[in-house]
Amino acid sequence: EAGVTQFPSHSVIEKGQTVTLRCDPISGHDNLYWYRRVMGKEIKFLLHFVKESKQDESGMPNNRFLAERTGGTYSTLKVQPAELEDSGVYFCASSQEVGINEQYFGPGTRLTVT
């Protein structure tokens, strides 16, 4: 069984540009989460999808970030326009059921904004 995959693994963009990150969860997992780790800090929650619906988006930093999960399968996270402080590692995770169960994480996308 394939794990959570993320694309690209690394992206370098200039301030003001747009970047789209993609996450493919484990097949059959209805729950998809996005997290971000800014260098030297803790991994922080961004949002949670249940199928195609946003269950919790309390961690989204501002309206430059747009997450979608059309059809309830893969998800994209778009940053537009990117700022320097958006640099970090973006993790995606998925879980089979809502509730008390573990989340399976992908390898992350390292975003560098110059």
Does 42 bind another protein (CB under 8 A)? Our answer is yes
**73-102 footprint of another protein as x/- string (CB under 8 A):** ------------------x-x-x--xxx-x
Closest CA to 95 of 46, 32, 35, 38: 32
Q: In the bound complex, what is the minimum distance in angstroms from residue 40's beta carbon to another protein?
A: 7
| Candidate residues 23, 24, 48, 75; the one interacting with another protein per rule CB under 8 A | 48
d(CA 53, CA 60): 15
DSSP H or E stretch at residue 76: strand 75-79
Which region, judged by CB under 8 A, interacts with another protein, from 13-21, 22-30, 31-39, 65-73? Answer: 31-39
Phi, psi of 29 (to 5 degrees): -85, 120
Q: Count Cα neighbours of 63 within 13 Å in the Cβ-side half-sphere.
A: 0
Residues that bind another protein (CB under 8 A): 3-4, 31, 33, 35, 40-45, 48, 55-56, 58-59, 91, 93, 95, 98-100, 102-108
